[in-house]
Amino acid sequence: MSLDHRQLYRLHRIESGLLRSDPHLAAMLAVFAGLAAGEHLPAWEQLATRPDRIRQAAALMVKAVTLLATAVALLFHAVRGLVRAVVMGDQARPRIEGTSAAQPQPRHDDQGWNPAQGS
């Protein structure tokens, strides 16, 4: 992990303040730092590098654009269905297969008689 000059200066001020205020705690931290010097941090504790952050940001942007495109497509289909229902009325209803053969359509003869309504 590389730190810039300002961050190193701040860490030095924290260290010197700790040495002055609590020398015993500073000694214990020095022992811990010596023991843990050869250990590697687990992946979930490591900071992401700049290319990793750029890659993560790009992936989030692609996901957001995809989600937005899907939402716009769904909205378009809903509006199109609504317009079709308003303009075409009952004709806009989709036909369900098998219903036309099971339910015969009422027939009208020349005198206006409808056998589906009875005599």
Task: Kindly state the tokens that stand for 24.
Answer: 């015993």
pLDDT, tens only, 66-82: 999 999 999 999 999 88
Please provide the average confidence, as pLDDT, over all residues in the chain. 81
Quickly tell me which residue has 């497509």 as its tokens.
73
Taking the C-alpha atoms of residue 84 and residue 91, their distance in angstroms, rounded to an integer, is: 9
Angle between helices 5-21 and 23-35 (to 10 degrees): 130
User: What value does the mean pLDDT take over residues 81-89?
Assistant: 84
pLDDT, tens only, 94-115: 666 655 555 555 555 556 666 5
Q: Note the pLDDT of residue 10.
A: 93
